[in-house]
């Protein structure tokens, strides 16, 4: 679909907005259709059977989404399982993908497990981190994890990655134990740089590792300094996301064998050091039997983030998926959860692995999808849990064309064709890649937001940690853009808002991770907005705060330009001057 793009400026917080506006269609039921293999050029996922005593091969199979060439169209990374080269499916903008792994330099036959996408150096071109045990035809070894540094386009416009895992200090997870599962990027210390968290499925203390981004394409392992020792954990899916509203991200771990954990962020002490505390029991995260994949969203519309974790459904052991609804915070800022999976209708998804949360019918609430399958377990249908807006779900997979049975492990969501609805990717272990396009023809409206925060020194790139509140009529939606991880991979890094029959958002509030806010009003629906965010004192938008910005402010002030009205009261006076001086000297909160 061809689109038109234009730009407009938003005075509050120095933002620019780029607009892409596709067409809207008429009403029909939710419907998905599978892309033919010719449309995505991927090969079947067949893992090496002896990658690590056969154990990890049975749990492998992930996928990650990222706009690696920054062209506004989402691409896919697919691990090869050690039996064939990894694949990089570049979106050709016509409903098809092309495998360009060789051209980008990542066509390695490695025993890859989890992967994560994040812009570690704020250049606009996201990096790719891959948990690996080494070459597929060799014995597994420690120290083989990869960090692909995105080099961006060369003089001919060609893209490539450079592998820098060892130089960056993130090639090892554990020193002597071959392990590693899921990974995620996030800003743990709110310094504006993307840090890295990696989980492991090992009998080893501190098996989840935290690597702090030092700002020069290298990382420091700060695990022992910031995490309490809770003993060994069988980790699968980590998430870094602020649950209690203090802007610092909590660490949520979906772990096997009843070991899922909630680590609440303590913020910074007087010396500027960060730490986490284990609040798993206090938060009532105690009913998870064998956590695998996870999704975090406000499923019941109360403004609090809830935590869904996939599990093996074993009624005899009272085990199944968990849906931890957040009921509030205690006096110390710890979120309190209540598992209502059975009541909500989402407890049984078979031997469940990957899961995503998104508004697949654009009616204004977060739905759920879960895939399942294991070599020793009977297959059940893929689940599409449709939300009634209050956190009650019904399975609509069959009617939507998703009622298939595969040994599904990893999965992810993305809008592959920029048409305003969410599409799906499923990884079968072993088996082909399943890409399902959302073909729903609907009168429901939507809005998609790409947050470009890399120009602001105080904010991590890709909008990481931003909370968005959308007011449409009498409905309010809350979303936090952080850790879109699913089992062994991640979904697109975008805000997707379904708006139902509303043709505009009355009010959009952006709560940035540095504590500042931006408000936009009367935002038209059915478009993709690229929100470019700068520091409020960076009026020249050169990512520096210096004398040139003072001159720029004085010029705006003297011309009575709205951008010089720092307190937005409609007048130009001493209060505006003092307001600019305050933000100029404040640096990052």
Long-range contacts of 541-544 (CB under 8 A, 24+ apart): 541/14, 541/455, 543/455, 543/457
**DSSP 3-state assignment of 586?**
helix
d(CA 68, CA 159): 9
**pTM of the full structure:** 0.94
Contact 113, 140 (CB under 8 A): no
d(CA 75, CA 310): 26
Q: Are strands 201-205 and 5-10 parallel, antiparallel or unpaired?
A: unpaired
Contact 559, 482 (CB under 8 A): no
Buried b (16+ CB within 10 A) or exposed e, 69-92: bbebbbbbbbbbbbbbbbbbbbbe
Contact 453, 462 (CB under 8 A): yes
Q: How many Cα atoms within 13 Å fall on the side-chain side of residue 20?
A: 17
d(CA 402, CA 200): 31
Q: Which residues pair with 76 in a beta bridge?
A: 65, 89
Q: Which of 305, 301, 350 is nearest to 323 (CA)?
A: 305
Taking CA 460 as the corner, what is the angle to CA 551 and CA 356, rounded to the nearest 5 degrees? 140
CA 566 from chain centre, in angstroms, equals: 33
Taking only the tens of pLDDT, the chain with its 589 residues reads 334 333 333 433 456 666 665 544 334 589 999 999 899 989 899 887 765 555 667 889 999 999 999 999 999 999 999 999 999 999 999 999 999 999 999 999 999 999 999 999 999 999 999 999 999 888 888 999 999 999 999 999 999 999 999 999 999 998 878 889 999 999 999 999 999 999 998 877 788 999 999 999 999 999 999 999 877 889 999 999 999 999 999 999 999 999 999 999 999 999 999 999 999 999 999 999 999 999 999 999 999 999 999 999 999 999 999 999 999 999 999 999 999 999 999 999 999 999 999 999 999 999 999 999 998 888 999 999 999 999 999 999 999 999 999 999 999 999 999 999 999 999 999 999 999 999 998 899 999 999 999 999 999 999 999 999 999 999 999 999 999 999 999 999 999 999 999 999 999 999 999 999 999 999 999 999 999 999 989 999 998 899 999 999 999 999 999 888 888 888 989 998 998 898 888 777 6
Residue 554 phi, psi (nearest 5): -60, -40
């Amino acid at each position: 679909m061809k689109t038109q793009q234009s730009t407009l400026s938003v005075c509050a917080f120095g933002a620019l907005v780029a607009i892409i506006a596709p067409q809207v269609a008429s009403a029909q039921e939710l419907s998905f259709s599978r892309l033919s293999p010719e449309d995505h050029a991927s090969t079947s996922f067949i893992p090496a059977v002896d990658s690590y005593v056969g154990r990890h091969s049975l749990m492998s199979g992930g996928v990650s989404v990222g706009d690696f060439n920054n062209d506004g169209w989402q691409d896919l990374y697919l691990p090869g399982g050690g039996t064939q080269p990894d694949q990089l499916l570049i979106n050709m903008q016509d409903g098809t993908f092309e495998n360009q792994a060789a051209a980008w330099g990542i066509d390695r036959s490695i025993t890859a497990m989890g992967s994560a996408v994040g812009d570690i150096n704020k250049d606009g071109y996201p990096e790719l981190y891959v948990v690996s045990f080494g070459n597929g035809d060799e014995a597994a070894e420690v120290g083989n994890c990869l960090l692909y540094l995105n080099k961006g386009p060369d003089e001919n416009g060609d893209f490539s990655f450079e592998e820098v895992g060892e130089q960056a200090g993130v090639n090892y997870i554990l020193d002597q134990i071959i392990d590693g599962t899921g990974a995620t990027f996030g800003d743990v210390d709110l310094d504006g740089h993307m840090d890295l968290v990696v989980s492991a499925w090992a009998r080893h203390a501190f098996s989840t590792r935290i690597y702090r981004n030092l700002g020069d394409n290298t990382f420091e392992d700060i695990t022992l300094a910031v995490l309490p020792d809770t003993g060994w954990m069988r980790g699968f899916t980590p998430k870094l996301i602020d649950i209690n509203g203090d802007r610092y991200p909590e660490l949520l771990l979906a772990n096997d064998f009843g070991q899922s954990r909630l680590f609440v962020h303590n913020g910074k002490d007087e010396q500027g050091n960060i730490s986490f505390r284990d609040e798993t029991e206090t938060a009532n995260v105690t009913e998870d039997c064998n956590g695998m994949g996870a999704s975090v969203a406000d499923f019941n519309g109360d403004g609090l983030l809830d935590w869904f974790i996939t599990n093996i459904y074993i009624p005899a052991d009272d085990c199944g998926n968990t849906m931890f609804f957040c009921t509030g915070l205690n006096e110390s800022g710890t979120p309190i959860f209540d598992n209502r999976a059975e009541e909500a209708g989402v407890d049984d998804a078979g031997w469940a692995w990957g899961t995503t949360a998104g508004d697949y019918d654009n009616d204004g609430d977060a739905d759920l999808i879960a895939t399942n399958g294991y070599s020793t377990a009977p297959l059940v249908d893929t689940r599409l849990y449709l939300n009634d807006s209050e956190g009650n779900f019904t399975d609509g997979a069959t009617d939507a064309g998703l009622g298939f049975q595969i040994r599904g492990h990893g999965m992810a969501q993305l809008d592959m064709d920029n048409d305003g609805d969410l599409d799906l990717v499923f990884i079968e272990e072993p088996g082909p890649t399943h890409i399902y396009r959302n073909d729903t023809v609907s009168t429901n409206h939507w809005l998609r937001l790409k947050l470009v925060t890399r120009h602001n020194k105080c904010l991590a790139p890709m909008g990481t940690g931003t909370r968005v509140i959308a007011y449409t009529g009498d409905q309010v939606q809350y979303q936090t853009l952080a850790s879109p991880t699913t089992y062994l991979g991640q979904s697109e890094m975008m805000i997707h808002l379904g708006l139902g029959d509303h043709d505009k958002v009355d009010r959009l509030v952006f709560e940035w991770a540095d504590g500042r806010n931006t408000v936009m009003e009367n935002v038209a629906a059915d478009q993709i907005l690229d929100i470019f965010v700068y520091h409020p004192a960076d009026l020249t938008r050169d990512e520096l705060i210096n004398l040139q910005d003072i001159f720029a402010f004085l010029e705006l002030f003297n011309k009575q330009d709205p951008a010089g009205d720092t307190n937005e009261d409609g007048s130009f006076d001493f209060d505006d001057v003092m307001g600019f001086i305050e933000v100029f000297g404040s640096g990052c909160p």
